[in-house]
Each structure stands twice: as structure tokens, then as C-alpha cells.
Amino acid sequence: MSENLLRLAVQKSGRLSEDSLSLLAECGVGLNLSGSRSGKLRVQASNFPLEVFFLRDDDIPGYIADGVVDIGIVGENVVLETKTDVLLIERLGFARCRLSVAVPKISSVREVADLNGKKIATSYPVVLRQFLDERRISASIHEISGSVEIAPGMGLADAICDLVSSGSTLISNGLVELETVLRSEAVLVADKNIVAVAAEKQKILDRLQFRIQSVLRAKQHKYVVLNSPNDAINSITELLPGMKSPTIIPLAQEGWSAVHSVVTEDAFWEIIESLKAAGAQGILVVPIEKMVG
């Protein structure tokens, strides 16, 4: 086993797989995945000291805790459910979902407190038990591994506790959400003893984390270029903090300047509206590929 290779586990096939591999590609990590990936358990990167293992998502935290791999990309919900003591390195912003308690629309249960003495079907018994204990609700948990949403209709349970993203599975099964137990997204986690195992691995992880942060930061920002009458520059630059401060370049046309800056994705439309109202014209919005430092 090489001490100079960081071993990363990703989901072999499922909701996390594509985004995990795209993130690695955006970080410049070259993986030769030609042919069918289905047979391959592991692939070594061509240009970065990383070996990628393809595993079931539920097994990833355990493999890290056992030292079989050093780091992994997995849903936070799985980390909490498996109760593994791993280090959270980075939230990755994809596979966002929530674990929610839901009941049939026609149920007399209106809030989670009404679940006392009832039966709840879930694939997340550990997280659900903790939630119920915190609320001092005594309900029985029926663990099933899939198709949780059909349990009430089959008479197996009074309620379910399952992952929700768009909510359409709940709707099509006549279920309504009562409360969110947990919010989750994909996370990069690491073996707690990674430094003790090999200082070299920590260095590789630091390099990978730096690249991931640059990619994630870029996704959260847009590059904005606009034309501003010179007398509106002050009010326009106040709306555009930029990384340090906006760049202002005079246009060939007298009395006008081009303003370049960076805005955050979440405040984006509000800022664009305010810029227009302040007199900005020809506003261009450009995605940023990497945002370093």
C-alpha cells in the first residue's frame, strides 16, 4: 500500500456518483474511466497522487473508519446514520435533501407529537430514534431498506421518515411532510487519524481541498461586466464589492466607463436589478471557472 497515494471513496453508482466525478474533473484530477466503470473497484489518477475507490455509499464511512480508504464523498445523512467518527472536511453543495417525517394526507396525525404510540417506517432508524428521543416521543420504528413511501398505504406503518428532494415522491403517494429531521448534502470526510497514518497524505488532502474550495467558490460567484455613465460610477460600485474593489476602465466613448466585478450567486438578481436602476447598461454576466484565494 503506497503511503504517497491518497485513497478516496466515491459512490459506485447512484445519486452522488456523477457529481463526485465531475468535481474531481473540475479539480483537474484525471481519471481514466474508459469502458464500463461497473467492473472497476479502483482507479488511480493520472496526474494527481489519488486513488479512487468505487463503493456503496453506506459502506464509505466504515471503510474510512477502518483505514481502508483515507477520505470519501458521501451524504451527510449516511455519516450520521452510521455514527462513524470521521472528520468533516468540506460541504460540497450537491445532493441536497432533507430527512423528513411524513404522514398520509388523510391521517389524524397533524404534528410529530401526535406520533406517540405510532409506527414509523424508515431506512434511517438511528437518526430518527435520536430525533424522537429529543422530542420525548415514544414511537416504534420499522426499518426498511427501500420504497419507504409505500409503507403507510400497505398498512405497514402510520408514518414514514425518508429523504425528500423535490417532494414529488411524497405527493404521488398521498403523503404530507410534518417536520424536517435533518438537512443533508454531499460532504468530503476524512479519517480522523490521517496525519498520524502519513503526514504525506494530509499534504495531498490539503492540495485537493484547496482545489475543491476554488471550484466551489467559483460556482457561488459570477463575473459581471457593465457600462456605466461616469456620474453613476459611485452608486454602481457601491453595489459591487468585488474581490477587492471593482475594476473601472474608461470606454472609448466620452463620459462612460466599463465596470468589472464579482457578485455572489445568491444575491445575484437583486444586484442586477439595482445596477439597472442605478443606470448600468450592457450588463454581461459570465460564469467563473475557478476562484483561487
Q: How far is the CB of 108 from ligand PRT (least distance, A)?
A: 24
C-alpha 53/C-alpha 12 separation (Å) is 8
Per DSSP, 56 falls in state -
Which CB atom, from 181 or from 272, has the smaller least distance to ligand PRT?
Answer: 181
Burial (0-12, 13-18, 19+ Cβ within 10 Å), 39: exposed
Which CB atom, from 47 or from 168, has the smaller least distance to ligand PRT?
Answer: 168
Q: How far is the CB of 28 from ligand PRT (least distance, A)?
A: 25
Beta strands in 25-172, from DSSP E residues, in sequence order: 42-44, 50-55, 71-75, 87-91, 97-104, 119-122, 140-143, 159-164
Chain positions contacting ligand PRT, by CB under 6 A = 11, 14-16, 56-58, 75, 77-78, 95, 97, 162-169, 184
- Angle among Cα 129, 135, 138 to the nearest 5 degrees reads 60
Asked if 81 touches Zn ion (CB under 5 A), the answer is no
Burial (0-12, 13-18, 19+ Cβ within 10 Å), 239: buried
Q: Which does 61 bind (CB under 5 to 8 A by kind): Zn ion, ligand PRT, none?
A: none
Residue number of the CB closest to ligand PRT reads 75
Q: How far is the CB of 220 from ligand PRT (least distance, A)?
A: 20
Which CB atom, from 123 or from 261, has the smaller least distance to ligand PRT?
Answer: 123
Q: How far is the CB of 43 from ligand PRT (least distance, A)?
A: 17
Neighbours of 119 (CB within 10 A): 15
Q: Is 205 left (phi over 0), alpha (psi -120 to 50) or beta?
A: alpha
Among 57, 149, 162, 191, binds Zn ion (CB under 5 A): 57
Q: Which does 167 bind (CB under 5 to 8 A by kind): ligand PRT, Zn ion, none?
A: ligand PRT
Q: How far is the CB of 268 from ligand PRT (least distance, A)?
A: 24
Residues of this chain that interact with Zn ion (CB under 5 A) are 57-58
